[in-house]
Amino acid sequence: MASHWVISLIDNLWAGWRMDFLQKVDEPDHLRSPSRCILCDLGKGAGEGFNRDNYVIHRGRTCYMVLNVFPYAAGHLMIVPYVHEGDFVNLDNEVLIESLDLARAAITVLKNIYNPEGFNFGANLGRAGGAAFGEHAHFHVVPRWLGDTNFMTTLAHSRVIPEALSQTYDRITQQLKVL
């Protein structure tokens, strides 16, 4: 009975920031951004350091790290090659090695900040594989906790992220400076 009462309190959960994304879900990847790829747009400026406005937290030689603006959990990061390539098998070894190095750094930092009980690390390859940007391969690092899929996700198909992206950005960039 109590769970019915809780659910009725959240019949309307406002998440207006998602509308722009939802309206573009069925568009081909190359129509999503004026320059054809939002991940390429974010990657511009290699070597210029952080970009707080777009949540880019690290720029490497072949890849950059960015907060996912539609996170599954607080601290959800993406590692994105600068090269516009959708097929994982076509990424060269230098990109793959740096991707793994950045994943290791991301996991280290996220452990220090959030003390998660586990991680999801991987890639959704191609649109059919669940990739929102199937024409640009990228990797996800998601901190996880036992029981972090609560009734909101299960019943309301909504995620509750307990921290603003700007606060997550500040915490992660501060920890990266320590590494």
Model-wide pTM > 0.75: no
What is the pLDDT, as a whole number, of residue 16?
54
End-to-end CA distance of the chain: 49
Task: Give one word for 75, left, alpha or beta, with left for phi > 0 and alpha for psi -120 to 50.
Answer: left
Q: How many DSSP H helices and E strands does the chain contain?
A: 6, 5
Q: Does the pLDDT of residue 3 top 60, yes or no?
A: no
Is residue 58 flagged as an active site residue?
no
| Residue 49 vs residues 28, 45, 64: alpha-carbon distances, Å | 30, 8, 10
Structure tokens at 68: 């996912």
H or E element at residue 63: strand 63-67
What integer best gives the mean pLDDT of the chain? Answer: 78
Burial class (CB in 10 A: 0-12, 13-18, 19+), 142: buried
The answer to whether the beta carbons of residues 102 and 57 sit under 8 Å apart is: no
Of 73 and 16, the one with more pLDDT? 73
Structure tokens at 121: 């690390």
Q: Does the pLDDT of residue 30 top 60, yes or no?
A: no
Neighbours of 58 (CB within 10 A): 20
Instruction: Specify the amino acid at residue 67.
Output: L
Contacts of 23 (CB under 8 A, 6+ apart): none
Most confident of 10-19, 39-48, 170-179: 170-179
Q: Give 108's pLDDT tier (boundaries 50, 70, 90).
A: very high
Catalytic choice (58, 76, 136, 138): 138
Q: Give 7's pLDDT tier (boundaries 50, 70, 90).
A: very low
Domains in the chain (CATH in brackets) are 17-178 (3.30.428.10)
What is the pLDDT, as a whole number, of residue 88?
92
**Three-class SS state of 135:** coil
**Three-class SS state of 56:** strand
Closest Cα partner for 99 from 134, 143, 137, 68? 137
What is the pLDDT, as a whole number, of residue 21?
52
**122, β-bridge pairs:** 140
Mean pLDDT of 138-162: 72
What is the pLDDT, as a whole number, of residue 124?
86
pLDDT tens sequence across 112-145: 999 999 999 999 888 888 777 788 999 999 999 8
Mean pLDDT of 58-76: 92
Phi, psi of 12 (to 5 degrees): -120, 110
